[in-house]
Amino acid sequence: MPLDSYVNTFNRYLQGRFGERVARISFETGIPCPWGRCVFCDNHAFVPRGAIVPGRRGWESRLIDQKKRMVSRYGAHKYLAYFQSGTSTSGDPRKLGRMYELASKQEDVVGLIVSTRPDYVTEDIVRRIVQSAPSGDFDLWMEIGLQSAHERSLEFLGRGHDAGAYESAIEMIHRAGEGRIKVTAHTIAGIPGETTADAVETARFATRHPAVQGIKIHHLQVYHGTRLADRFEAEPFALPEEDEYIVLLGEMLKVLPPHIVVMRFFTEGPRNRIIAPQWYSNTQELLKKLEEHCKNNTITQGVGRST
Ligand code: SF4
């Protein structure tokens, strides 16, 4: 059975919601992240090249090119405008609102995703995200970087916020967004010093508020040129091997409520930037392994929620 049979994947959600393939097109605000101090961060690795800045010269023709690429690569004719890069709620709220609106109101765009840190969620920005949506059935998401429910891990990662900031942000989105915005929690699994139980606790914590409808789970990668790379080179630390990570993912999936959309399972940075861990499988092979793991161990999303 495909992975969709065991897990509520993003593909499964999009098929159910829109009845066809929907692709994400990367947008950005063009404003650098105001924090810039997460030890693992290499924005070049996380964000696809060619993200579009709405309103900047030539952006509309670049959007047309991107749409053509999505048709030929995925057969997708509908799109989500995805502000993925950096902290996409940092800057002048009025200008940001205009950018969200420009991206949202393009033909065949059926949803908007805005990614940010929890300490950059304001009532004003939440309202502008809601207002940017065209009338009708439009999908609105905010992706909030929690990374871990554990303070010592947040310190290790240099996040500069605590887990309480995540809870406050979700509550703000829920209230000011009038229930229209769905939240995706962005998490990292396999952080040095964390046990399986710690990662499972993060999965539970991240998804316990009703506004949270999705989760992204990433494995920690050490990229060239990051502060984490300096640390790793000075004193290497253990990161899960791919088979260990698959087992860890399985444990996290067990405690996720079945309605939560699992939007990502692995980090997909370019190989030439990665110092560690050096895994041998590509993303498709990893997904296949996860599917096999679920099958062989009778794991379905939420199966272990009472334990
Ligand atoms: S908040 Fe995001 S973009 Fe900014 S430094 Fe941290 S990981 Fe990078």
Query: DSSP labels for 270-291?
Result: -GGGEEE---SS-HHHHHHHHH
Distance 56 CA to ligand 1 centre (A): 23
pLDDT tens-place string over residues 63-97: 999 999 999 999 999 999 999 988 999 999 999 99
Nearest CA to ligand 1 atom 2: 86
CATH code for residues 3-296 = 3.20.20.70
State the pTM of this model. Answer: 0.95
Pocket test for ligand 1, best of 29, 31, 33 (most atoms within 8 A of CB): 33
* Domain ranges across the chain: 3-296
Average pLDDT, the chain: 95
How many Cβ atoms sit within 10 Å of the Cβ of residue 26? 17
Q: For position 307, what pLDDT does the model report?
A: 53
* Residues with Cβ within 8 Å of residue 38, at least 6 apart in sequence: 157, 158, 159, 160
Which of 42, 83, 87, 166 for mutating ligand 1's site (highest number of atoms within 8 Å of CB)?
A: 87
Which has the closest alpha carbon to 259: 197, 183, 196? Answer: 183
Report helix, strand or coil for 103. Answer: helix
Of the pLDDT bands very low, low, confident and very high (cuts 50, 70, 90), residue 47 is low
Q: pLDDT digit string (tens) for 174-217? A: 999 999 999 999 999 999 999 999 999 999 999 999 999 999 99
Q: Which amino acid appears at position 34 of this protein? A: P
Alpha-carbon distances of 290 from 171, 213, 250, 295, rounded to whole Å? 33, 22, 8, 9
